[in-house]
Chain A
Amino acid sequence: MIIVNDLHKKFVRHDKPGMKNLGDLRRLLGLQKTAEQVVQAVNGVSFTANDGQITGLLGANGAGKTTTLRMVAALLQPDTGNVIVDGVEVRAGVSSTQSYMGVLSDARGLYPRLTARENINYYGLLHGLTQEMTAHRIEQLADRLEMRHLLDRRTDGFSQGERMKTALARALVHDPRNIILDEPTNGLDVVATRALREFLRWLRSPEGGAKCIIFSTHIMQEVERLCDDVVIVAQGRNVARGTVQELMQQANQTNFEDAFVSLAFSEQQTQSLEDRS
């Protein structure tokens, strides 16, 4: 179970001084402070993801989904708020919670000169599994993900789908109780997407281990078909939460896409109205 409490994260971007006018030159020489641009990426996201459920994090591009998931995965330190995974608080840069988590982030680079098996095996060993346990897990995952034929090929030249399968197997090699997937269907074709969906459903089922799965996406269909619980994120905050049915009722829409737009963007409009007044 993952509990996310009121996360906030802002990024400060230092604009690189150009050479358009004298002020830029002074900034370049360090006489004047560089212009700072503060981006509030996450501005109050809270939700609870339960075991045996798939929790969808739905939002437009730039809504703060990836930043939120990076904080959950201990890759970023939140400014305020905290994340608790199976009762342990996540601290960025500290590896204590990582054994309970399998993360497929947006960066899913493989080692191109290693075979898929070697890629997965490496992560198994890093998680402290023995060679035998890792080998056993690889066989299991390869069957589930239908990637047995890929195992002994170098990952250089893999298709998007093959890459995703390898990265997913790699992230799950230590059989974590909590699984975090950042836009896993990006770049996948229909067949690969369906296969992934099946696999996630299996992971949610008691036979698959009743995992706690968080899944971020901007694709409505994915959420409709897969998620037990949906958190809609807009402008760095969660604006609505519930099952797909509940959300449609809440927005008074019969179509989930319309419901999403009305929930995600009406909030934004009222917000901007509030800001103006």
Chain B
Amino acid sequence: MNVLFAIIRKELKDALRDRRTLMTALLSSLLGAPLILLVFSTVLSQVESQEDKRVVLAAGMQYAPRLENFILRQGYQIKAAPADYEAKSRNKEIDQPVLIIPSDFESKIISGEKVNLEIAYDTSNRNAEFGVRPLRRLLDGYTQELTILNLTMRGISTELLQLVEVKEHYLQKAEEHKTSVTEMLPMMVLMAIVVGGMYAAIDTTAGERERGSLEPLMMNPVSGWQLAVGKWSAVALVGMGVVVLTIASFFPSQWLIRNDTLRAEFQFGFRDALWFLIVLLPLAASVAAMQIAVALDCKSYKEAQVRNQIISMFIPFVSLIPIMFPGREPAWFQWIPVLAQNQMMNQVLKGEALNSVAVVIALVVCAAMTYGSLAYIAQKMRKVVMS
């Protein structure tokens, strides 16, 4: 037992003094969530501010007095577009699309001819792009009003035009918030887990071998299991530390949210944090065991790094699997590591209660993966240097 503690203490000390290990662990855990929330909330605010602006930028409004009247009636302001609106939109001085009205607009409408309106915006100007949708909606309203007026004048009921009306009726659970942005968050957390402890795992195996300290280590009367469990414990502690830091970073991240809608959506409380820990700590521990197993028989740090990075590339893919199964999620999802955790994190974020069976299944799967990896490491550990 003392030997085991000696190994864990040494490995932890070694890992925490390694700048590379420490920096990846800290960066991956502390930066992900705040960044993603900041970016998404800013984008969301831009979209919303365009919808709230209620200003129409138009060139040639004098040619369409009735349209002008309609727009003003909807509570919008009308501003005349500058003559060089094209250039100004391109260099982002204008943050709105420009409505262009041809000079023969009114006369054509009166004579019942088709007439074109143009909306000018630069696709590289994202703010202007966000403004296109509200403007279109406004113009569609005008077209509809015009049609109805025309038909009524000719004595045709507008009811005939639209016999079938389709209404969307959302069957949403009452407590289930609308989540779009928050779905990105579980993936960030999973990436942090995989990347966070990776360098510690590589350093304790391939790193030791490359430095030539693994062979002398084998001169000590220590069993493969002691080495495996000792090294794993240290790496798992680093990985779990990353989990705790990542989840802790959610709390200050909430202040960075620049948007009220998202703030209302992302209510991450103490209970949620607790559920996240229950779901993620076992995963972090088993990922650590697998990373050590993968790096174990690599001759160099570089080789181990490549192998581990291939594994971490799978994480985003696994969290994409649900896209292939729209509708009800198959039951086997619960048995797939990473996927199960991804699902459960989403449930917590949506404010749903976790299924205790699913939690136990995930725990069992993680325990099995850990045991399998450790058994492999224990029997391989001493053989690695014997070639």
**Beta-carbon contacts of A166-177 to B below 8 Å, as 1s and 0s?**
010011000000
Which of B2, B3, B212, B218: most chain A CB closer than 10 A? B218
Size class of the contact patch on chain B: 20 to 34
The answer to the question of A118 belonging to the interface, with a C-beta cut-off of 8 Å to chain B, is yes
Give the distance to chain B from A137, nearest Cβ to Cβ, in Å. Answer: 14
Interface residues of A in 85-118 (CB under 8 A from B): 92-93, 95-96, 98-99, 101-103, 105, 107-114, 118
Write out the residue numbers on chain B whose beta carbons fall within 8 Å of the beta carbon of A101: 219
The answer to the question of A125 belonging to the interface, with a C-beta cut-off of 8 Å to chain B, is yes
Nearest CB to that of B5 among chain A residues?
A125
Write out the residue numbers on chain B whose beta carbons fall within 8 Å of the beta carbon of A108: 212, 216
The answer to the question of A251 belonging to the interface, with a C-beta cut-off of 8 Å to chain B, is no
Write out the residue numbers on chain A whose beta carbons fall within 8 Å of the beta carbon of B215: 75, 105, 107, 109
A170 to B214, CA, bound (A): 14
A128, B216: Cβ atoms closer than 8 Å:
no
B383, A126: Cβ atoms closer than 8 Å:
no
Give the distance to chain A from B232, nearest Cβ to Cβ, in Å. Answer: 17
A75, B385: Cβ atoms closer than 8 Å:
yes
The answer to the question of B220 belonging to the interface, with a C-beta cut-off of 8 Å to chain A, is yes
B221, A75: Cβ atoms closer than 8 Å:
no
The answer to the question of A77 belonging to the interface, with a C-beta cut-off of 8 Å to chain B, is yes
Write out the residue numbers on chain B whose beta carbons fall within 8 Å of the beta carbon of A47: none
The answer to the question of B223 belonging to the interface, with a C-beta cut-off of 8 Å to chain A, is yes
B2, A125: Cβ atoms closer than 8 Å:
yes
B223, A113: Cβ atoms closer than 8 Å:
no
Q: Please tell me which one of the listed residues B10, B214, B219, B223 contacts residue A114 in the complex, with CB atoms under 8 A apart.
A: B10
**Beta-carbon contacts of B261-291 to A below 8 Å, as 1s and 0s?**
0000000000000000000000000000000
Give the distance to chain B from A32, nearest Cβ to Cβ, in Å. Answer: 24
Interface residues of A in 110-164 (CB under 8 A from B): 110-114, 118, 122-123, 125-128
The answer to the question of A195 belonging to the interface, with a C-beta cut-off of 8 Å to chain B, is no
**Beta-carbon contacts of B3-26 to A below 8 Å, as 1s and 0s?**
100110010011001100000000
A114 to B356, CA, bound (A): 44
Q: Please tell me which one of the listed residues A73, A77, A92, A112 contacts residue B211 in the complex, with CB atoms under 8 A apart.
A: A112
Write out the residue numbers on chain B whose beta carbons fall within 8 Å of the beta carbon of A93: 382-383, 386
The answer to the question of A84 belonging to the interface, with a C-beta cut-off of 8 Å to chain B, is no
Nearest CB to that of A154 among chain B residues?
B17
A170 to B10, CA, bound (A): 15
Nearest CB to that of B382 among chain A residues?
A93
The answer to the question of B222 belonging to the interface, with a C-beta cut-off of 8 Å to chain A, is yes
Nearest CB to that of A126 among chain B residues?
B220
A109 to B14, CA, bound (A): 14
A126, B386: Cβ atoms closer than 8 Å:
no
Nearest CB to that of B10 among chain A residues?
A122
A126, B213: Cβ atoms closer than 8 Å:
no
The answer to the question of B297 belonging to the interface, with a C-beta cut-off of 8 Å to chain A, is no
Q: Please tell me which one of the listed residues A102, A103, A113, A171 contacts residue B18 in the complex, with CB atoms under 8 A apart.
A: A113
Write out the residue numbers on chain B whose beta carbons fall within 8 Å of the beta carbon of A128: 2-3, 221
The answer to the question of B208 belonging to the interface, with a C-beta cut-off of 8 Å to chain A, is yes
A112 to B223, CA, bound (A): 24
B386, A75: Cβ atoms closer than 8 Å:
yes
The answer to the question of A28 belonging to the interface, with a C-beta cut-off of 8 Å to chain B, is no
B213, A125: Cβ atoms closer than 8 Å:
no
Give the distance to chain A from B383, nearest Cβ to Cβ, in Å. Answer: 7
A73 to B217, CA, bound (A): 12
Which of B18, B217, B221, B386: most chain A CB closer than 10 A? B221
A111 to B204, CA, bound (A): 10
Write out the residue numbers on chain A whose beta carbons fall within 8 Å of the beta carbon of B2: 125, 128
Nearest CB to that of A97 among chain B residues?
B221
Q: A92-B386, A98-B220, A125-B3 are in contact. Are A107 and B212 (CB under 8 A)?
A: yes
Nearest CB to that of A73 among chain B residues?
B219
The answer to the question of A76 belonging to the interface, with a C-beta cut-off of 8 Å to chain B, is yes
Give the distance to chain B from A29, nearest Cβ to Cβ, in Å. Answer: 23
Q: Please tell me which one of the listed residues B7, B208, B221 contacts residue A109 in the complex, with CB atoms under 8 A apart.
A: B208
Give the distance to chain A from B304, nearest Cβ to Cβ, in Å. Answer: 16
A110, B6: Cβ atoms closer than 8 Å:
no
A101 to B217, CA, bound (A): 13
B221, A126: Cβ atoms closer than 8 Å:
yes
Give the distance to chain A from B234, nearest Cβ to Cβ, in Å. Answer: 13
A12 to B334, CA, bound (A): 46
Give the distance to chain A from B189, nearest Cβ to Cβ, in Å. Answer: 29
A127 to B218, CA, bound (A): 11
A118, B10: Cβ atoms closer than 8 Å:
yes
Nearest CB to that of B215 among chain A residues?
A107
A126, B212: Cβ atoms closer than 8 Å:
no
A95, B10: Cβ atoms closer than 8 Å:
no
Write out the residue numbers on chain A whose beta carbons fall within 8 Å of the beta carbon of B212: 107-109
Nearest CB to that of B219 among chain A residues?
A103
Write out the residue numbers on chain B whose beta carbons fall within 8 Å of the beta carbon of A114: 10, 13-14, 17
A75 to B212, CA, bound (A): 14
A128 to B221, CA, bound (A): 8
A95, B221: Cβ atoms closer than 8 Å:
yes
Query: Contact residues of B with A, CB < 8 Å?
Result: 2-3, 6-7, 10, 13-14, 17-18, 208, 211-223, 382-383, 385-386
Interface pairs A-B: 6 shortest CB-CB: A109-B212, A109-B213, A125-B6, A107-B212, A95-B221, A126-B220
Question: What are 9 sample pairs from A and B whose C-beta atoms fall under 8 A apart?
Answer: A77-B386, A93-B383, A95-B222, A105-B215, A109-B215, A111-B213, A114-B10, A125-B6, A126-B220
Given contacts A92-B386, A123-B216, A128-B221, 6 further A-B contacts (CB under 8 A): A101-B219, A109-B213, A113-B17, A114-B14, A118-B13, A122-B10
